[in-house]
Amino acid sequence: MRVPLLDLQQQYAPIRDEVLAAVTRVCDSQHFILGAEVEQFEREIASLLGVAHAIGVSSGTDALLAALMALGVGPGDEVITPTYSFFATAGCVSRVGATPVFVDVDPVSFNVTAEAIDAALTPRTRAILPVHLYGQCADVDGILAVARARRIPVIEDAAQAIGAQTRGRQAGTLGDIGCFSFFPSKNLGAFGDAGLVTTNDDELGWKVRLMRNHGMHPKYYHRVIGGNFRIDALQAAVLRVKTPHLAAWTEARRRNAARYERSFTEALAGHRSLRLVPASAAPTAAGTLTLPAASPDAYHIYNQYVIRVHDRDGLRERLTAQGVGTEIYYPVPFHLQDCFAPLGYRAGAFPVAEAAAADSLALPIYGELTENQQRHVVSTIVAYYR
């Protein structure tokens, strides 16, 4: 049986005609950059997220870059961010000339905590950049309390969290600026690169719009130095077709997460050499398996379903041999990446992230996954530790 990590063909098949009609509409208009299609998309996604301003950009990476630039973050500034995320989170901080200040993550959610951020504050802290990793919100309220006390802006990296909620409020709309990615493998994927910046602050919204298009307003009058962070009309048209399906796709991912939990629990009842244990800060011990834990406050959208196991690499090889796609998000935390060596962090600085990097494994969780495919994943894992 083949169980790919992600199968976008299955999502595409039922909407193919609608997507092709939308693409044709843009081709027939021969209007490819910004314009009416993008404006429509921005209105629709702003209303879905319940946010005042939604600004389509060229990628999630460029969303982060435009957000940092709009806030005026630059040389001499520090930005506090988790050491455990996709590279763009930290890379963008360095690209604007600021210094990323890494902190460890929580062992249960893999998210950065308010306590860790509080401990990393210095007089140079110019922004806080939490990530809603794997589709579950970080403790935004706790982080905002730390930030507001010092009037430090919060940029939410919601690239993996579109539609995620905490206490009924949407990820990416709670801090000062939210950044989303429509990379094809994200929960809402474009047909290429695309991203989004959100804010409820009129002035910040205006600044992000300026940054997106070379700081230009009106045409050929440049108020600030921005970049080309524009979203294509073709991507906006595709996203307009997909957006109305997002809620159902998310529900399917959540159903699959619940099915994994049931299936692992059943398969491990009476198993002699493998048992389920709650997440802890320590590396996963031999004979134990940890499943993702959704906080009671969270509406988790499962961009990834990440388990923790002993002998992760051996298990991964077995899964590959049995036709099951997996991925490691992420094998090396930021503070141990070569490109950040000049920052002077050492191995052992952030033990929770380092342990997670060594023993976490993402399993297939996309909505169209069948119950049989999930059983195959679970039985392959359970059999490996027998």
Interface contacts to ligand PLP, rule CB under 6 A: 59-61, 85-86, 88-89, 131, 157, 159-160, 181, 183, 193, 195
Smallest gap from residue 156 Cβ to ligand PLP (A): 10
CB-wise, 61 or 290, nearer to ligand PLP?
61
CB-wise, 175 or 195, nearer to ligand PLP?
195
Smallest gap from residue 379 Cβ to ligand PLP (A): 30
CB-wise, 86 or 191, nearer to ligand PLP?
86
Rounded Cα distance between 130 and 177, Å, is: 11
Smallest gap from residue 81 Cβ to ligand PLP (A): 10
CB-wise, 183 or 366, nearer to ligand PLP?
183
Closest to 79 measured CA to CA, from 69, 63, 65, 94: 94
Smallest gap from residue 242 Cβ to ligand PLP (A): 15
Q: How far apart are the first and last CA of the chain?
A: 21
Smallest gap from residue 160 Cβ to ligand PLP (A): 5
Smallest gap from residue 174 Cβ to ligand PLP (A): 16
CB-wise, 61 or 125, nearer to ligand PLP?
61
Residue 191 near residue 234, CB atoms below 8 Å: yes
The token pair at 354 is 């380092």
Helix (H) / strand (E) element for 99: namely strand 99-103
Q: Dihedrals φ, ψ of 154, to 5°? A: -115, 125
Question: H-type helices in the chain, by residue range?
Answer: 8-12, 16-29, 36-49, 60-70, 88-95, 114-120, 140-149, 202-212, 233-242, 246-268, 312-321, 351-359, 371-384
C-beta neighbour count of 150 within 10 angstroms: 11
C-alpha of 360 from chain center: 16
CB-wise, 197 or 378, nearer to ligand PLP?
197
CB-wise, 89 or 374, nearer to ligand PLP?
89
Residue 327 near residue 5, CB atoms below 8 Å: yes
Smallest gap from residue 51 Cβ to ligand PLP (A): 18
